[in-house]
């Protein structure tokens, strides 16, 4: 049986009206992509590339002008599509008057967590994101890093299959960022799908299975991290269990025939900057 | 796609959850506490007029003062608190996280409405308790001081009618809260929603003039404008029953029922339009 993808986007276009003018601003332009289940998918792009609008359409917060977006096969505009989704917005703002526990209880109730299980779920999540000692403090007094952590906990409160994380490590110290990265990998092991938007390209490169790079609303490149970082005019070959003499001979032979022997991959950061620069020049 | 998932049902429990959280937010807002203290101080200030030695007329004065405080402070609180509680979620971007949960936008609109309405209802309830206490306290003193002014030595304040007046004001506030919610659904600032709420409140208070003018003017266009205005906007003057209730007079229960039905009709209409408007809003 073919499983429906976690997110399926087909021909998605979003135009915003520019206030005080008849002009329209195209935020997303004919975007198509598919995010398979149980994977970590990175959505990259410079500011204004259409990432946030795409996420908002997927969450039903914004309606598309043209095209379709489905979450587990359900049109994203239907609230049912969000029954299995947890969302951490960029720079999350929460009800400042609530304590961490109250916030999780509130979002847990809205995520249909059974009443008899909600307290255990809150304890477990506060512990998981390292806020067990801050659960009874008001969210208004949380630091930026703590807000990200409680945001992650509220995204997980309904135990969703799909997590949409917009800059989950923004404002978090390096140790905290590493903990969040390891939590994301654990979530994948638990069978969850993660859509990750991040400017920390090294994190995306190490954690994501597939990556899409957007620029000015368009999809510039999409594929597995290994494929994308492979240079087109380079080819690599993996030969295991050979002696160092044989490896030297192969290298020598390649050089004799005018070949250049070097590391065949580039970093995701190099690729990202290259694409962003190219788009800028256009 | 499963059928149950496709037909995602509307849930009253989600409305209650959002409503309770909205109420909690309002109660923790300093504004609510400040308004409550201010209103109680205003009511307490009516005791200053004891120096004039009005006798039993003083009771009517205190009642009028209390009714006025309930209406004015209640309406002001309804406009400010509702705009803050609804538009604040958009302004502070907390609505993004909330509406990314599996909830219908109409559930959000209704939850916010009930939370704001319950807040102002609580405020009116507290003022009612204070008013009843103030009247009872003064009536007891005056009864002892001027027994001749009380026929057969009986109390003259009808405390039940004071409670009914408060209930009627809660109906009125329900309409006002729904109006502010409607404007908040497409507002670009909470100030806009508040200003529009105040305008509707003023126009609603003067509605009876438009209704009277409709019978006087000859122009068809003016008649139509007046007719549209008198149907689209609520007539808040209908809820000004304090004059009759202050001392002595009782109203038949059918009047309360009609006022309740009137408030329900208008609030339902405004909330339906607000839900439709908020459904189209991009966050």
The answer to whether B117 and B125 have CB atoms below 8 angstroms apart is no
**Considering only CB atoms, which chain B residues are within 8 Å of A82?**
100-102
The answer to whether A82 and A90 have CB atoms below 8 angstroms apart is no
Res. B52 pLDDT band, cuts 50 70 90: low
**Considering only CB atoms, which chain A residues are within 8 Å of B93?**
89, 93
User: Which chain A residue lies closest to B5 (C-alpha atoms)?
Assistant: A80
Residue with structure tokens 């009511």?
B43
| pLDDT score of B46 more than 70 | no
CA neighbor of A72 nearest in space, from A195, A225, A190: A195
Per-residue confidence (pLDDT) for residue A113, from 0 to 100: 92
Considering only the beta carbons, identify the residue of B94, B100, B101 that sits closest to A95. Answer: B94
The answer to whether B115 and B18 have CB atoms below 8 angstroms apart is yes
* B9 at interface of A, judged by CB pairs closer than 8 A: no
Domains identified in chain A and CATH numbers: 7-281 (3.40.50.300)
d(C-alpha A121, C-alpha B100), whole Å: 20
Neighbours of B230 (CB within 10 A): 18
- Tell me how far CA of residue A146 lies from CA of A93, A139, A184, A217, B247, in angstroms: 11, 9, 17, 32, 58
Stronger pLDDT, B1 or A97, i.e. the higher one: A97
Stronger pLDDT, B218 or A81, i.e. the higher one: A81
d(C-alpha A191, C-alpha B70), whole Å: 57
**Cα–Cα–Cα angle for A246, A251, A255, nearest 5°?**
145
Considering only the beta carbons, identify the residue of B25, B103, B280 that sits closest to A97. Answer: B25
ipTM of the complex: 0.84
Buried b (16+ CB within 10 A) or exposed e, A17-55: eeeeeeeeebbbbebebebeebbbbbbbbbeebbbbbbb
Q: Which helix (H) or strand (E) holds B170?
A: helix B159-186
User: Which chain A residue lies closest to B92 (C-alpha atoms)?
Assistant: A93
CA distance A93 to chain B (A): 6
Q: Name the B residues in 25-64 with CB < 8 Å from any A CB.
A: 25, 28-29
| pLDDT score of B4 more than 80 | no
CA neighbor of A52 nearest in space, from A154, A130, A164, A135: A164
pLDDT, one tens digit per residue, over B155-167 is: 777 888 888 889 9
Considering only the beta carbons, identify the residue of B6, B17, B104 that sits closest to A109. Answer: B17
* B14 at interface of A, judged by CB pairs closer than 8 A: yes
Average pLDDT over residues A62-82: 92
CA distance A83 to chain B (A): 5
Buried b (16+ CB within 10 A) or exposed e, A206-219: ebbbbbbbbbbbbb
Per-residue confidence (pLDDT) for residue B224, from 0 to 100: 81
- Tell me how far CA of residue B40 lies from CA of A85, A136, A197, B45, B235, in angstroms: 47, 33, 52, 8, 28
**Interface contact A80-B99, CB threshold 8 A:** no
d(C-alpha B182, C-alpha B269), whole Å: 10
* B16 at interface of A, judged by CB pairs closer than 8 A: no
Structure-block tokens of residue A142: 């949380």
| pLDDT score of B136 more than 60 | yes
**Interface contact B97-A111, CB threshold 8 A:** no
Mean pLDDT of chain B: 85
**Interface contact A59-B282, CB threshold 8 A:** no
State percent of chain A over pLDDT 70: 91
Per-residue confidence (pLDDT) for residue B27, from 0 to 100: 87
Length of chain B (residues): 283
**Considering only CB atoms, which chain B residues are within 8 Å of A164?**
100
User: Which chain B residue lies closest to A70 (C-alpha atoms)?
Assistant: B1
| pLDDT score of B5 more than 70 | no
| pLDDT score of B180 more than 80 | yes
pLDDT, one tens digit per residue, over A192-240 is: 999 998 877 777 888 899 999 998 889 998 988 878 776 666 566 666 7
Task: Spell out the residues 6+ positions from residue A8 whose beta carbon is closer than 8 angstroms to its own.
Answer: A34, A35, A68, A69, A70, A73
Mean pLDDT of chain A: 86
SS3 state of residue A27: strand
Considering only the beta carbons, identify the residue of A79, A85, A89 that sits closest to B104. Answer: A79
Neighbours of B275 (CB within 10 A): 20
State percent of chain B over pLDDT 70: 90
| Pairing, β A210-215 against β A218-224 | antiparallel
* B101 at interface of A, judged by CB pairs closer than 8 A: yes
Per-residue confidence (pLDDT) for residue B121, from 0 to 100: 94
């Amino acid at each position: 049986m073919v499983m429906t993808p976690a997110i399926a986007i087909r021909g998605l276009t979003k135009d915003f009206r520019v206030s005080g003018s008849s002009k329209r601003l195209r935020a997303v332009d004919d975007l198509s992509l598919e995010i398979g289940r149980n994977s970590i998918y990175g959505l990259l792009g410079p500011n204004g590339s259409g990432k946030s609008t795409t996420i908002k359409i997927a969450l039903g917060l914004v309606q598309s002008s043209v095209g379709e977006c489905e979450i587990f096969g359900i049109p994203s505009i239907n609230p049912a599509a969000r029954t299995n989704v947890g969302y951490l917005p960029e720079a999350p703002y929460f009800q400042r008057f609530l304590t961490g526990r109250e916030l999780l209880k509130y979002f847990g109730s809205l995520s249909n967590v059974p009443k008899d299980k909600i307290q255990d779920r809150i304890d477990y999540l506060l512990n998981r994101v390292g806020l067990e000692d801050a659960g009874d403090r008001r969210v208004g007094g949380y630091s930026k890093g703590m807000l990200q952590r409680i945001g992650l906990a509220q995204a997980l409160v309904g135990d969703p299959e799909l997590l949409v994380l917009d800059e989950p490590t923004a404002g978090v110290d390096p140790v905290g960022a590493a903990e969040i990265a390891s939590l994301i990998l654990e979530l994948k092991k638990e069978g969850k799908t993660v859509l990750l938007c991040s400017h920390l390209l090294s994190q995306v490169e190490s954690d994501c299975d597939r990556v899409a790079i957007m620029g000015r609303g368009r999809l510039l490149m999409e594929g597995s991290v290994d494929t994308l970082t492979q240079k087109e005019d380079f080819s690599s070959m993996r030969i295991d269990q050979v002696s160092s003499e044989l490896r030297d001979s192969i290298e020598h032979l390649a050089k004799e025939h005018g070949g250049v022997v070097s590391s065949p991959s580039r970093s995701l950061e190099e690729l990202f900057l290259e694409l962003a620069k190219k788009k800028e020049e256009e | 796609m499963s059928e149950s998932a496709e037909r995602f049902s509307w849930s009253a429990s989600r409305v209650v959850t959002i409503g309770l959280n909205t109420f909690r937010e309002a109660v923790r807002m300093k504004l609510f506490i400040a308004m409550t203290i201010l209103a109680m101080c205003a009511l307490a200030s009516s005791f200053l007029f004891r120096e004039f030695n009005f006798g039993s007329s003083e009771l009517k004065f205190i009642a009028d003062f209390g009714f006025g405080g309930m209406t004015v402070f209640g309406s002001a609180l309804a406009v400010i608190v509702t705009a803050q509680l609804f538009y604040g979620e958009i302004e502070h971007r907390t609505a993004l996280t909330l509406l990314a949960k599996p909830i219908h936008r109409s559930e959000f609109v209704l939850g916010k409405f009930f939370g704001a309405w319950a807040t102002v209802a609580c405020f009116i309830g507290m003022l009612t308790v204070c008013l009843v206490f103030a009247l009872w306290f003064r009536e007891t003193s005056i009864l002892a001081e001027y027994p001749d002014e009380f026929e057969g030595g009986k109390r003259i304040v009808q405390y039940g009618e004071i409670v009914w007046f408060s209930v009627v004001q809660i109906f009125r506030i329900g309409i006002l809260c729904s109006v502010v919610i409607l404007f908040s659904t497409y507002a670009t600032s909470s100030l806009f929603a508040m200003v529009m709420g105040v305008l509707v409140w003023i126009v609603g208070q003067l509605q009876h003039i438009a209704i009277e003018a409709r019978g006087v003017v000859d122009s068809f266009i003016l008649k139509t404008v007046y007719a549209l205005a008198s149907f689209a906007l609520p007539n808040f003057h209908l809820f000004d029953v304090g004059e009759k209730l202050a001392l002595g007079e009782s109203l038949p229960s059918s009047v309360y029922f009609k006022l309740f039905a009137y408030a329900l009709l208008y609030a339902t209409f405004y909330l339906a339009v607000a839900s439709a408007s908020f459904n189209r809003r991009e966050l």
